[in-house]
């Protein structure tokens, strides 16, 4: 064997050893790692701002609500309704485990009890918990890998999220399909404590916003109600913006625009 071929063979052997000895990133990630990355991809590691519209569809009617939202970690959230005119100016505030709503028409501040977290937000199929993010998909669940499946031509991790025994949360089990490359949730199924499917969510119209590739449309479909769905469209999203805890105050929820 010539010196040239010996050198080539040695290089090939070295390359094989490197590939074998260093596992891929996907192999290193646990189910919890993937859920955390998916949650941070959409919500930001620290803070965020978004402009959205929500269309509530029913068999005989539909209506659209527009709103802005600010968030800081998992403990603080503020949402302002910007349209339609009759609901414009309403706000919703979360600080830790306490939540309030403000209605400027009647100048009334209402504290929301925990029992209201499962109720529909603004008459939609989303709950108050969804909008105000009382529960944490990372901390309130255990996570397990269920294999790989394809959604809309994209290979996904299929992951089951099981509620921890001491977690006071709405969904007992969730199943996520998380895109392997971009770590975005393309499909989610949410189940109640009796094991029944309550609703399905799909993320579509993938776009880059503030440097992140995310679904710009999320469709929520209840499992047992024909002709009902809620479609969330994201017009703008910013991540890790400058926000202080003092921003999330009862005074600010009455004056923010």
Distance (Å, whole) CA 13 – CA 28: 24
In a domain, 19, yes or no: no
From the number of C-beta atoms within 10 Å of its C-beta (0-12, 13-18, 19+), residue 173 rates as middle
Report how far residue 174's alpha carbon sits from residue 192's, in angstroms, rounded to the nearest whole number: 9
- As a whole number of angstroms, the distance between CA 60 and CA 49 comes to 33
Looking at the domain assignment, is residue 9 inside a domain? no
pLDDT digits 0-9 by tens, 190-205 = 999 999 999 999 999 9
Report residue 144 as tokens: 């397990």
**What digits encode the pLDDT tens for the residues 58-112?**
999 999 999 999 999 878 999 999 999 999 999 999 998 788 999 999 999 999 8
- Phi first, then psi, for residue 56 (nearest 5°) are -95, 120
Q: Residue 46 sits in which domain range? A: 26-255
Number of domains in the chain: 1
Within a domain: residue 104?
yes
* 108: in domain: yes
CATH number, residue 192: 2.50.20.10
235 within domain boundaries: yes
pTM of structure: 0.82
Please report the beta strands in 58-118, taking only residues with DSSP state E, as ranges in sequence order. 62-72, 76-83, 91-95, 98-103, 108-112
User: Does any domain span residue 128?
Assistant: yes
**Domain-embedded: residue 164:** yes
In a domain, 35, yes or no: yes
């Amino acid at each position: 064997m010539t010196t040239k071929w010996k050198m080539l063979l040695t290089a090939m052997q070295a390359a094989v050893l490197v590939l074998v000895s260093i596992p891929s990133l996907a192999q290193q990630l646990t189910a919890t790692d993937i859920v955390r990355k998916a949650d941070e991809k959409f919500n930001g590691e620290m803070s965020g701002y978004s402009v959205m519209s929500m269309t509530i569809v029913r068999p005989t009617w539909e209506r659209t609500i527009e709103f802005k939202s600010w968030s800081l970690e998992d403990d603080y959230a503020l949402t302002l309704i910007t349209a339609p005119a009759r609901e414009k100016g309403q706000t919703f505030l979360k600080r830790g485990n306490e939540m309030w709503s403000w209605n400027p028409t009647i100048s009334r501040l209402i504290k929301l009890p925990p029992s209201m977290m499962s109720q529909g937000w603004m008459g939609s199929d989303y709950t108050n918990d969804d909008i105000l993010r009382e529960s944490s998909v990372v901390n309130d669940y255990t996570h397990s890998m269920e294999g790989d499946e394809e959604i809309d031509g994209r290979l996904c991790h299929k992951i089951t999220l099981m509620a921890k025994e001491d977690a006071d949360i709405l969904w007992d089990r969730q199943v996520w399909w998380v895109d392997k490359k971009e770590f975005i949730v393309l499909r989610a199924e949410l189940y109640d404590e009796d094991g029944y499917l309550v609703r399905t969510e799909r993320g579509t119209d993938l776009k880059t916003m503030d440097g992140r590739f995310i679904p710009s449309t999320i469709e929520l479909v209840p499992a047992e109600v024909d002709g009902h769905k809620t479609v969330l469209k994201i017009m703008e999203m910013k991540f890790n913006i400058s926000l202080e805890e003092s921003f999330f105050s009862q005074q600010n929820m009455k004056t923010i625009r």
